[in-house]
Amino acid sequence: MKALLQRVREARVEIGGELAGAIGPGLLVLVCAEAGDTDAVGERLLAKILKLRIFADEAGKMNRSVQDVGGGLLIVSQFTLAADVRGGNRPSFTGAAPPDEGRRLYDAFVAQARRLHPEVATGRFGADMQVHLLNDGPVTIPIDMR
């Protein structure tokens, strides 16, 4: 699985003009299931996200996790993170998990996040979403569990 984390002051997802999910300070997590991924890979990815020290401490150093600061998680499915652009000008997404498996892995990832973290909002798998965010820093961290 892959994820792109953005430390945010606030973020929200709208679908068809309706609010689907929103957080204040925390992490926008764009997540992509790839072919061959398992629930265990998603669990390792989530553990890394929850413990990653990318929030400032009293000295201004990145030394606190989203759990340490009580921040929210906004988890959005993003199959385009699997894009392969080596072959030409049109991205290939053949590395992404098939839709049914991608949905299952995304749902399992979100369920685990809700068990382990008090504030979790989401988009909707496969929907045309508009994501609004105020990036804090900016801090943007890619994670590839392969």
- Clarify whether 112 is annotated catalytic: no
The residue count for the chain? 146
Instruction: For residue 32, give Cα distances in angstroms to 2, 35, 51, 70, 125.
Output: 5, 10, 19, 24, 11
Residue tagged active-site, from 6, 55, 79, 125: 79
- Clarify whether 80 is annotated catalytic: yes
- Clarify whether 130 is annotated catalytic: no
Residue tagged active-site, from 6, 55, 78, 122: 78
Question: Are 1 and 32 within 8 A, CB to CB?
Answer: yes
Question: Are 128 and 34 within 8 A, CB to CB?
Answer: no
Which sequence positions are flagged as catalytic?
A: 78-80
